[in-house]
Amino acid sequence: MRFYLAPLAEITSKEFRLLCYEGGADVCYSEMISARAVTLRNKKTIGLSEIDSREPETYLQFFGGEPEVIKEAAEKILSLVTPAGVDLNAGCPVRKVVASHAGSQLMEDPKRLGEIVKALRSVTNLPLSVKIRKGFKHPSYLECAFAAQENGADFLICHPRLRTEMFSGVSDFSVSVELAEKLRIPVIHSGDIHSPDDLKFFENSNIYGIMVGRAALGRPWIFDELKGMTVTEERKREMMRKHFQYYLDLNDKFGHTMIRRHASWYSTGKTGSAEFRNSVFSPANDISAVVEMINRFFGLHL
Say if strands 85-90 and 128-135 run parallel, antiparallel, or are unpaired. Answer: parallel
130 binds ligand FMN (CB under 6 A): no
Residue 222 to residue 16: CA distance in whole angstroms: 13
- For ligand FMN, the binding residue among 88, 180, 185, 212 (CB under 6 A) is 212
Burial group, residue 83, by CB count within 10 angstroms (0-12, 13-18, 19+): buried
Alpha helices by DSSP H, the chain: 14-22, 35-39, 43-47, 67-78, 95-99, 110-123, 141-150, 173-182, 222-226, 233-250, 253-267, 273-281, 287-298
- For ligand FMN, the binding residue among 18, 19, 27, 32 (CB under 6 A) is 32
23 binds ligand FMN (CB under 6 A): no
Residue 49, CB half-sphere, CA atoms under 13 Å: how many? 29
In the range 141-160, which residues lie near ligand FMN by CB under 6 A? 159
- For ligand FMN, the binding residue among 2, 101, 182, 214 (CB under 6 A) is 214
Cβ atoms of 158 and 187 closer than 8 Å: yes
Burial string for 256-283 (b: 16+ CB within 10 Å, else e) reads bebbbbbbbbbbeeeeebeebbebbeee
Which range touches ligand FMN (CB under 6 A), out of 84-92, 107-115, 179-187, 219-227? 84-92
- For ligand FMN, the binding residue among 37, 51, 84, 215 (CB under 6 A) is 215
In the range 231-260, which residues lie near ligand FMN by CB under 6 A? none
261 binds ligand FMN (CB under 6 A): no
Which range touches ligand FMN (CB under 6 A), out of 71-79, 86-94, 135-143, 235-243? 86-94
37 binds ligand FMN (CB under 6 A): no
Measured from the CB atom, is 119 or 216 closer to ligand FMN?
216
Measured from the CB atom, is 171 or 297 closer to ligand FMN?
171
- For ligand FMN, the binding residue among 92, 144, 148, 162 (CB under 6 A) is 92
Residue 176 to residue 131: CA distance in whole angstroms: 12
Which range touches ligand FMN (CB under 6 A), out of 207-215, 256-264, 272-280, 282-290? 207-215
Cβ atoms of 141 and 175 closer than 8 Å: yes
Cβ atoms of 75 and 104 closer than 8 Å: no
61 binds ligand FMN (CB under 6 A): yes
Say if strands 187-190 and 2-5 run parallel, antiparallel, or are unpaired. Answer: unpaired
Residue 59 to residue 39: CA distance in whole angstroms: 19
Q: How far is the CB of 81 from ligand FMN (least distance, A)?
A: 17
Which range touches ligand FMN (CB under 6 A), out of 85-93, 219-227, 275-283, 290-298? 85-93
Count of residues near ligand FMN by CB under 6 A: 21
Cβ atoms of 41 and 56 closer than 8 Å: no
31 binds ligand FMN (CB under 6 A): yes
The residues annotated as belonging to the active site are 92
Q: How far is the CB of 63 from ligand FMN (least distance, A)?
A: 7
Residues 6+ apart with CB under 8 A from 240: 266, 298, 300
Q: How far is the CB of 265 from ligand FMN (least distance, A)?
A: 11
Q: Which residues make up the interface to ligand FMN (CB under 6 A)?
A: 6-9, 31-32, 61, 89, 91-92, 131, 159, 167, 190-193, 212-215
